[in-house]
Amino acid sequence: MGVAESSGSSQNVTGPTAIRVHDANPLLYTTPQEHMIIQPYWVLIVQLFVKQIIANRVWNRIRHNTWATTQEIAMGRIVLMLQIAYLKAKKSILESVRTARQHQTTTTSKSPTLKQTTINFFKDTFTSPQSLLDRAASAGSNDFSTLRSNIDELDDEIEQKKNEIESSQKKREELSRRLQLDIFDLLVHCLPLLGQTIWYFYLQSKCMSAEQASTWNCYNVFGYRLYNYVFTSYCAFFWLTMMKLPIYVDSERNTNETNDKNLRSGWQKCIDVLRKIEFHASFWSSCITIIVVGVPIAPYLLTNVIPMACTYTFICIIYIVLWLSALLFCRILVTIPLINKLLFGILEDILKEYKHFYAPYLMFLFTILTLPILFTTFFNYSQYVYYSNNLFNTMTYEFDSRNTATYFRGLQSSASNTFHTVLFFI
């Protein structure tokens, strides 16, 4: 009996795939539906917003006394690094100009004597008019005064750049201290991702016993679960770890090299031990999570995501247009003082003339939150296109698989589905 005949209504939807769909991975509807129901797009966005924006801000406020997210702190630090590089370049140019002016001043300071000698020669020889000779003699003196004044102004500018560099370096070090692996990474990122991935490995061990199971179908259904429940959170976690790890490892090395343990009190030593335990627990759990979760996810980029991205090129173009529009919007927001203070408080650490650098880097946050959703959608398309479905019907079926009513019915009927949704939220 065909799939369509197994349902009383051609419009019925019991899981991720409409019952009327023939040309799709059959395991999407022959395996237990409590393990296959996926979130509507709006739920996916809300989950990412709660986890990456709200929870992260609250934790950073408690731990680091800032409302900025970790991504914003990291981007602010990068902009400060650019700011320091530009300031050092300007300072170097000013110093080169000052050296050249100083050399010119030395030459000019001697020229009045030469001019006066020439004047005396002409005065004695040809009895030239005295007023013309006096003006010629004073010209060298005026040039010397102007150059001397310019050098003083250059000294002031060089000192200003030096102070700005020192201030920027202190602010960068302060932001670096806020980018540290801590218990938040262990409890909110590593454990949920590891738990969900191990659970899906367990479900995969039973795949070959399902109806219409095959190696190819089971391979795809495993990716379907990973990309719809793990992938978006993993991407955010991966980039956060990549931004934190080098900074924190360097800070730990510097701390070990500079601290004199004999001069620290017993309470301070106890805090150091706890921080070291926290660091190693977070560090090793992050490394394990990156490997254990990343290894099974990576092959699907080649076999499913990239081919679908090439097939649906127009969607990629639409995303790029939206990305550029969001970039323009961020550039506008950066120039508004009120919005600047409310949303981008980290910009207070950046000089006015360098704040425009922050908008492109702010788009990195937009990208790591939205691009994984696009990749997940491309993967889901492959579950229809690879089974001979129409390209445009595939888009409709994928959207229908995220039916809100079906999703909430699945939450009510399945404790495991509810549990994984909660894990995704935290």
Which of these three, 102, 135, 168, is where a domain ends?
Answer: 168
* 195/344 same-domain check: yes
State the residue range of the domain holding 158. 88-168
Q: Is residue 80 part of a domain?
A: no
Residue closest to 1 by CA, chosen among 16, 22, 28, 23: 22
130 shares its domain with 157: yes
**Residue 261 structure tokens:** 């343990």
Verify that 31 and 152 share a domain, yes or no: no
CB 401 within 8 A of CB 384: no
Please tell me the distance from the alpha carbon of residue 247 to that of residue 192, in angstroms, as a whole number: 24
Q: What is the pLDDT of residue 358?
A: 67
230 three-state secondary structure = coil
Q: Tell me the C-alpha distance between 154 and 326, whole Å.
A: 40
Is the CB of residue 228 less than 8 Å from the CB of residue 39?
Answer: yes
The last residue of one of the domains, among 142, 168, 194, is 168
> 18 and 161 share a domain?
no
Cβ pair 14, 36 in contact under 8 A: no
Position 74 in a domain: no
Q: Which two tokens stand for residue 188?
A: 């909110």
Residues 302 and 409 in one domain: yes
Enumerate residues 6+ apart whose C-beta is below 8 A from 89. none
> Which among 364, 223, 194, 426 has a CA at the least distance from the CA of 287?
194
Residues 6+ apart with CB under 8 A from 77: 172, 175, 176, 179, 247
Q: Is residue 83 part of a domain?
A: no
Q: Does 78 fall in a domain?
A: no
- The whole-angstrom separation of Cα 95 and Cα 89 is 10
Residue 97 corresponds to which tokens in the numbers above?
A: 């100009």
24 with 130, same domain? no
Is residue 60 located within the same domain as residue 105? Answer: no
The pTM (predicted TM-score) of the whole model is: 0.73
Helix ranges restricted to H, 301-387: 306-311, 313-334, 337-343, 358-385
Assigned domain for 312 exists: yes
Q: What is the pLDDT of residue 139?
A: 45
Max Cα–Cα distance, the chain, nearest Å: 125
Cα–Cα separations (whole angstroms), residue 386 to 4, 26, 158, 394: 20, 12, 64, 10
Burial of 299 (C-beta count, 10 Å sphere; 0-12/13-18/19+): exposed
* Cα(368)–Cα(239) distance, integer angstroms: 8
Residue 39 lies in a domain: yes
353-386 confidence digits (pLDDT tens)? 666 666 676 677 778 778 999 999 999 999 999 9
Q: Per the structure, how many domains does the chain have?
A: 2
Are 332 and 236 in the same domain? yes
| Pair 16, 118 in one domain | no
CA 259 to chain centre: 32
Q: Which of 107, 138, 168 is the last residue of a domain?
A: 168
**Are 193 and 278 in the same domain?**
yes
Reduced 3-state DSSP string for 164-192:
HHHHHHHHHHHHHHHCCCCHHHHHHHHHH
Q: Which two tokens stand for residue 121?
A: 């020669």
Nearest-5° Cα angle at 411, 9 to 209: 70
**Who's near 33: CB < 8 A, 6+ residues apart?**
14, 15, 16, 410
Residues of the chain with pLDDT under 50: 1-14, 113-115, 117-119, 121-142, 144, 257-258, 261
Name 282's Cβ contacts closer than 8 Å, sequence gap at least 6: 181, 182, 183, 185, 186, 190
Residue 20 lies in a domain: yes
Q: Domain check: are 57 and 136 in the same one? A: no
301 residue type, one letter:
L
Query: Do 330 and 202 reside in the same domain of the chain?
Result: yes
How far is 341 from 384, CA to CA, in rounded Å? 47
Distances (CA, A) of 18 to 9, 10, 23, 24, 30: 10, 8, 11, 10, 12
Does residue 372 lie within any of the structural domains? Answer: yes
Distance, in Å, from the CA atom of 86 to the CA atom of 97, rounded to the nearest integer, reads 17
CA atoms within 13 A on the CB side of 41: 10
Give the per-residue pLDDT at 121.
Answer: 43
